[in-house]
Chains A and B, each alone.
Chain A
Amino acid sequence: MAPPTGRSDRPSRQPDQPHGVAQARGLFDREILGQAAIAAVVKLDPRVQVRNPVMFVVLVGSVVTLAETIAHPSTFTISITVWLVLTVLFANFAEAVAEGRGKAQADTLRRMRSETEARLVAADGTETRVAASELARGDVVVCEAGDLIPSDGEIIEGIASVDESAITGESAPVIRESGGDRSAVTGGTRVLSDRIVVRITAERGKTFLDRMIGLVEGADRRKTPNEIALTILLAALTLVFLPVVVALEPFGRFSGATVSVVVLVALLVCLIPTTIGALLSAIGIAGMDRLVQRNVLALSGRAVEAAGDVQTLLLDKTGTITLGNRMAATFTPVAGVDERRLAEAAQLASLADETPEGRSIVVLAKERFDVRERDLGADHVFVPFSATTRMSGLDMDGVQVRKGAAEAIRRWVTDQGGTVPDDLDGIVEGYARAGSTPLVVAEGPEVLGTIELKDVVKEGIRERFDQLRAVGIRTVMITGDNPLTAAAIAQEAGVDDFLAEATPEAKMELIKAEQAGGKLVAMTGDGTNDAPALAQADVGVAMNSGTTAAKEAGNMVDLDSNPTKLIDIVEVGKQLLITRGALTTFSIANDVAKYFAIIPALFVSTYPQLHALDIMRLHSAQSAVLSAVIFNALVIVALIPLALRGVRFRPAGASAILRRNVLLYGVGGVIVPFVFIKLIDLFLTATRWY
C-alpha cells in the first residue's frame, strides 16, 4: 500500500479564477477606484513623489508652468499646467488602484485578527481568556470546536478538523493532528470538531496573518533588483533629457527664436519616460497581487522576480506530476488462469480495502468484467493490511484470498505448500520496468496473477512541461521510487530528468549542483526534512499544509498546497519583467512622434522651413504641444489595465517572445502616438479649443 500522503488532492484550479484571500474583486472595483482617486491627490506630497525620479520631474515642471501661468495667464499655459498635474495624478492613481486591491483584502484579514480571543493555559493547567494579540511565543492555548485559532502554532495534543477557508478560500476542512507533518495550525482558522492544545510558535505581531496583511497591503514592499536597475535606467534617461531640453533655450536664442518656458517644460515631460515611470510601481504591486489571487504568498518580491529567471524546476512526483495515488490498470493472470477469475479474486481481496488503491481495483474489476459487489455470507473475515504481512484480503467459506507485494505472497504460498508459477517473475519484472507497482493475487496456495497499480500522470501535465521546455526551463522529477519506476514515469510525464530514491540530502545536493552551474532553482516542499532544500533553492514554495519549519524556510507559501502552482509562479515572475520591459520600450518609442510634434512647433516662427518636419500637419504650434502633452497623460490611464493585468505571456522561445513584443511595443510605440496626437489635435480644433 502506498503510504498516505500528507497533502490534499484537491483539483488544481484555473489560475485566473481568483479565490481565497483575493475574494473575487474585479480589476476595477468601484469602491477601490473611488478610494484610489482620493489617494492619488494625497500622493502629490513631494516627499512621496521624490521616490520616483521621473514623476518628480513632472511635478516640478508643473510648478514651473504654474508660476509661468500666474505671471502670464493664457488658455495655453493654463491647459498645459492642468494636464501636467493630471499626468502626475494619473500616475498616483495607477499606483493607488494597485494598492487598493491589497488594502481591501488586508482589511478583511485585520478584522479576523482583532476579533479573536484565546484560552491561555497556564503551567498549572488553569485557563484564562486573553486577547489573541497578547499571545507570546511558547504560550499554550486550547481550542475547541467553533473556536478561532488565535495565532500560529503547533498542535501538541489532539486531533481536529480545521476550516482554513479564511486563508485559503477552500471550504473543505482539513485534518490537523499532533506530531508529524500536519501539526501546524494558522491563526485565524477555525476548529470545526474536537479539541486541540496548541503551542504558539509565532512572535507577537509576526504571525502568518500579520505577514499576510503586510504583504497584500504592500506595506513593506521593497524594490526588487530588476526594478532598481530599471529605475536607474529611467533616471539616466530623465537626466540626459534635462540638458537636451534646457539647451534649447540658448540654441533658440542663438537662432533668433524666443522659446517659451512652458513649451520647454512640456517637451521635457513628453520626452522623459513618464509612461513607464508612472506605471512602474503599479506593475510591481499588481504582480504580487496576481500571486495572491492564485493563493500564493510571496514573502519577498525578489523571489517573484527570481521565479521568472528559474531554469530548473524540481517537482515532487506525487501530487505534482501524478495524482496522489496509484490506480489499478490491468489484470495479468499467470499461465493457465482465466483473467476473469483473477479479477474476481482481486475484487474479493479488495472489498474491505478502503484505500484509493483498493477502491480502484474494485472499479477496474467492474469495468472490465462487470464484477459487482456481492453480498458476502456471514461467514467471512476481512484480513487488513499490516506492515508485517504486507498483504490484505478476505477469508470466506474456507477460501483465503490475498493480495500483496510479490515477495509476501510468494512466502505465503510456499508456506502453504503451493508452488509459484514460472512466469510470475517475468510479469512482476515487466511491471516494475514500466514504472508500475505489481500486486500479486493468490487464492489459497494458488497464485492467480498480478494487478498492475499505475501512477496516473495528471492530465495536461505533459503539455505544461512542453511549454516550460519552450521557455528554457528544465524540469526534474523527485521521487522515492526506484530508478526503473522513476524512469518510466518520467518518460510518460515528459520531464527532462529525474532523481530516484531521493533523500533530503540528495535533493540538497542536486540543488547545489544546479546552482554551481549558474542556474536558478525552484522547488516545492512541505515536510520538515524539506526545509534545508527549500532554504537553499532560489524559489522555495512551501505548502500551507506543511510544517512550520518548511514554511519558514521557503520564500513563498502556497495556500492551496498545490505543488503544480510552481509553474504558475514562474509565469507570473516572467510576466512581471515582460510588462516592465514592454512599457519601457513603448515609453521610449513614443518620443519619436512627440519630437515631430513639438520641435517644429517650437521653432516654426523663426524657421518656417521646419514646417517640413511637421509630418502630422497639426493645426497650430500651441495645439501641437498641447496634443502631445494630453497624449502623454492619457496614455498612462489607457495602460493602467495592462500594467495591472500584465502583458500576456505565451510560452515560447525567447526569440519568438521578443520578436512579438518588439513589434507590438517598439514598432507599435513609434506609430501609435502619431495617430493619437493627430486625433487629439483634430479634437481640440473641432471643439475650438484652438
Chain B
Amino acid sequence: MGFAWTLVALAVVLALAWRFLGSYLAAVYQGRLTFLGWVERPVYRLLGVEPDAEQSWQRYAGALIVFSGVAVLLTYLLIRVQGSLPLNPQHLGAVPPALSWNTAVSFVTNTNWQNYAGESTMSYLSQMAALTVQQFVSAAVGIAVAVALVRGFARRGSPTIGNFWVDLVRGVLYVLVPIAFLAGIVFVGQGAVQTLAGPAVVHNHLTGFTQTIARGPVGFMEAIKELGTNGGGFFNANGAHPFENPTGVTNLLSVILILCIPVALTYAFGKMVGSVRQGAALLAAMGVIFCAWLAFTTVAESQPNPAVTASHAVAQHHGNMEGKESRFGPQSSSLYNVASTQTSTGSVDASADSFTPMGGFGMLTGMMLGEVSPGGVGSGLYTILLFAIITVFIGGLMIGRTPEYLGKKIQSREVKLAALAVLVMPIVVVAFTAVAVSVHAGRGGPLNSGPHGFTEILYAFTSQANNNGSAFAGLSGNSAFYNVAGGIAMLLGRFAIIVPTLALAGALAAKQVVPAGLGTFRTDKPLFVGLLIGVILIVGGLTFFPAAALGPLVEQFSHGRLF
C-alpha cells in the first residue's frame, strides 16, 4: 500500500471516528448510555461510591489524587515482589527500587517512559496486572479530566463538575475495554504474540546455537498501549518489534488507535457545549499542526542522513534507513513516530536516535508544543483548551471586550490557572534538563557528546514532563538520578497541570453565560483557529528556542559533522 493511500485510509477512519466515536463519547460521559449498568453498579458498590453524587472540583481532584497515589503504590509493590508471585516463567527477580519508582509513576501518569527492557525485567503478571491495568485506568483518568473541564464550559452556575469515580469507571467500561478488545483481536490475528507459555527455546541444528525467544501476553497489551496513548510496549524495541507490530496493517491500526480518541474528544466537546463547530475549530488547529509536523518529519527522513553521507559508507536511495524497520521504511515510520509524539503515546516503530537532526527535531518539538495535536487521551483536549483560554484572553482584549470563551468570561482567576497549567511543562523541562547537564550523574547519561548528547537529555525530560514516554534512546536512563528525577518530572507534568485544570473547571462551571452577539469573538471561525495555532507555536517557540538551538539545530547546521 502506497504511503498516500495509507494517509487517505487514516483520514477516512479518523473522520468516522470523529463523528461517531465522538458522539458515543458524549453520550457515555453525559450518562445517556446505561447498557453496561449491570457491570457498573456492582463496581460502584465495591468502591463505596454513590454514582449520582456530584463532586466539587476540590473533591474531584482529591479523588483523582488519591486514586493515582494508590495506583502508584500498588504498581510499585507489585513489581517489587514479582519474584514471589505466579505467572513468572522466566523467574525474574524484584525490580530495583529506583527503577520501580520510575516505572510506577510512568504508567500511572500515562507516560510509559521505560528505563527497562520489558521482556527481561517484568514478569507476565507485572506486565498484565501492574502495567496493562494502569494503561487502562490512566487513560480513563486523562479523559475524565478533559470531560470535567468541558462540563465547566457547558454548565451554568454549577457548584459541581461531575463525579470522578463514575467518569473513571465509565471510561474504562464503555470506551477503552470494548475498543481495545476488538483491536487486540486484530493484532493477534496479524501475528502479534499472545501467550502465557513463557519464552520459546529454539535449537538450531545447523549452527548448534540455542536461542531463547521472548514471548508473552503482547497482542492485547499492544491494543491499549496505543488506544490509551500510553506507549509502553512489552518489548524494549516497542513497535519496531515484529511480535508487537507485525505488519503494515498493524502499523496503520496503531496510528489509528493512537489518534482516534483524542480526535473524537473534540466532537464530544462540541456536542457537550452545544456547538459541534467549536469542537471542529479545535480539531482544525490540531490538524494543521499535525499535518505540518508530519510533512516536515517525513521529508526530513526521506533525505539521506547527512552523517551517513559524510562517511561514504552506504548508498541511501530510500532516505534515512538507519534505525528503521524495512517493513515500514522512512515514511510510515515518520507517520507512526509523529503520531506518537504529538499525542502522549511515545511508542516508536523506529529508532528516534537515528533520525536525521531535523526528523528528531520534528519529534522533539511535537512534544514541546504541549502535545495538543491532537494530544493524549483527554490531556490533548484539556491542554488545547488551556491554550484556547489564553488565545481568547489576548484576542478578546483586542476587540475591546472582557474576553469570553463559550460564553464564559475569562477573568483573572481563569487566566491565572490557565497560565499556570500551560507554563508548568516548559519550566519542568528546562529546569530538569539544566540540572541534568550540570550534575555528574546527569552528564554520564548520554552516549553521545556535543549537541546530540544534549538532545538526548533534553528529549528525555521533554518526553517525561509531557507524559509522552517516547525515548530518543542513546541515554542510559536506568540510573538512580534519571529514575528519580524522571519520576518527579512525570508527576509534575501530570498533576501540576491536572489540578489547576480541574480548578479551572470548577471556576468556569460556577459562572453564568454571556450571550453571544456581533461583538463576540467567534471561536468557531478560521481566524480563531489561526490565532490559536499562533499562540501554541509562540509559547512553545519562545520557551524552547534556545534549547532547540543548542541541540538539533546545531546538528543540522553542522551538515553531518559528528561531535
Chain A residues numbered 175-203 whose CB sits less than 8 Å from any CB in chain B: none
The answer, yes or no, to whether A83 is at the interface (CB within 8 Å) is no
A247-B431, A251-B454 in contact; A658/B399 too (CB < 8 A)? yes
Closest 8 CB pairs of A and B: A472-B519, A581-B397, A574-B400, A472-B518, A609-B557, A581-B398, A236-B419, A247-B434
* A503-521 interface bits toward B, Cβ cutoff 8 Å, 1 = contact, 0 = none: 0000000000000011100
The answer, yes or no, to whether B60 is at the interface (CB within 8 Å) is no
For the complex, what is the distance from the CA of A469 to the CA of B518, rounded to whole Å? Answer: 8
**Least Cβ–Cβ distance between B562 and chain A, in angstroms:** 13
Q: Find out whether the CB atom of B546 lies under 8 angstroms from the CB atom of A251.
A: yes
Given the complex, which residues of A lie within 8 Å of B512, measured CB to CB? 518
Chain A residues numbered 569-619 whose CB sits less than 8 Å from any CB in chain B: 573-578, 580-582, 584-585, 588-589, 591-592, 595, 599-600, 602-603, 607, 609-610, 612-613
The answer, yes or no, to whether A335 is at the interface (CB within 8 Å) is no
Chain B residues numbered 512-563 whose CB sits less than 8 Å from any CB in chain A: 512-515, 517-522, 525, 527, 531, 534, 538, 541-543, 545-547, 549-550, 553-554, 557-558
Which of these, A518, A573, A575, contacts B407 with CB under 8 Å? Answer: A518
Q: Find out whether the CB atom of A254 lies under 8 angstroms from the CB atom of B437.
A: yes
For the complex, what is the distance from the CA of A236 to the CA of B414, rounded to whole Å? Answer: 13
Q: Find out whether the CB atom of B438 lies under 8 angstroms from the CB atom of A662.
A: no
Q: How many residues of A contact B (CB 8 A)?
A: 75
Q: Point out residues on A near B: beta carbons under 8 Å.
A: 225-226, 228-230, 232-233, 236-237, 239-241, 243-255, 271, 305, 308-309, 311, 469-474, 517-519, 573-578, 580-582, 584-585, 588-589, 591-592, 595, 599-600, 602-603, 607, 609-610, 612-613, 649, 653-655, 657-659, 661-662, 665-666
Q: Point out residues on B near A: beta carbons under 8 Å.
A: 390, 393-402, 407, 410-412, 414-416, 419-420, 423, 426-427, 430-431, 433-435, 437-438, 443, 450-451, 454, 512-515, 517-522, 525, 527, 531, 534, 538, 541-543, 545-547, 549-550, 553-554, 557-558
**Least Cβ–Cβ distance between A308 and chain B, in angstroms:** 5
Q: Find out whether the CB atom of A519 lies under 8 angstroms from the CB atom of B423.
A: no
Q: Find out whether the CB atom of B420 lies under 8 angstroms from the CB atom of A236.
A: yes
Tell me the nearest residue of chain A to B520, going by C-beta: A654
Given the complex, which residues of A lie within 8 Å of B420, measured CB to CB? 236
Q: Which has the most chain B C-beta neighbours within 10 Å: A474, A600, A657? A: A657
Q: Find out whether the CB atom of B401 lies under 8 angstroms from the CB atom of A574.
A: yes
Contacts across chains A and B counted by CB atoms under 8 Å:
208
Q: Find out whether the CB atom of B443 lies under 8 angstroms from the CB atom of A243.
A: no
Which of these, A246, A575, A591, A612, contacts B542 with CB under 8 Å? Answer: A591
Q: Find out whether the CB atom of B451 lies under 8 angstroms from the CB atom of A658.
A: no
Q: Find out whether the CB atom of B398 lies under 8 angstroms from the CB atom of A665.
A: yes
Given the complex, which residues of B lie within 8 Å of A654, measured CB to CB? 399, 401, 518-522
A-B contact sample (15 more), CB < 8 A, given A252-B550, A578-B397: A236-B416, A237-B419, A248-B546, A254-B454, A311-B514, A472-B520, A473-B519, A573-B400, A577-B398, A581-B397, A582-B398, A592-B538, A607-B554, A657-B400, A659-B527
Interface secondary structure of A, over-half rule = helix
For the complex, what is the distance from the CA of A612 to the CA of B559, rounded to whole Å? Answer: 12
Q: Find out whether the CB atom of A247 lies under 8 angstroms from the CB atom of B398.
A: no
Q: Find out whether the CB atom of B402 lies under 8 angstroms from the CB atom of A243.
A: no
5 contacts between A and B (CB under 8 A): A472-B520, A578-B398, A599-B546, A603-B550, A658-B398
A232-B415, A607-B451 in contact; A592/B541 too (CB < 8 A)? yes
A236-B423, A247-B433, A250-B438 in contact; A595/B545 too (CB < 8 A)? yes
Q: Find out whether the CB atom of A658 lies under 8 angstroms from the CB atom of B557.
A: no
Given the complex, which residues of B lie within 8 Å of A578, measured CB to CB? 397-400
Tell me the nearest residue of chain A to B450, going by C-beta: A255
For the complex, what is the distance from the CA of A589 to the CA of B522, rounded to whole Å? Answer: 22
A581-B397, A607-B451 in contact; A588/B538 too (CB < 8 A)? yes
Q: Find out whether the CB atom of A610 lies under 8 angstroms from the CB atom of B557.
A: yes
Q: Which has the most chain A C-beta neighbours within 10 Å: B400, B517, B518? A: B400
**Least Cβ–Cβ distance between B141 and chain A, in angstroms:** 26
**Least Cβ–Cβ distance between A274 and chain B, in angstroms:** 14
**Least Cβ–Cβ distance between A378 and chain B, in angstroms:** 66
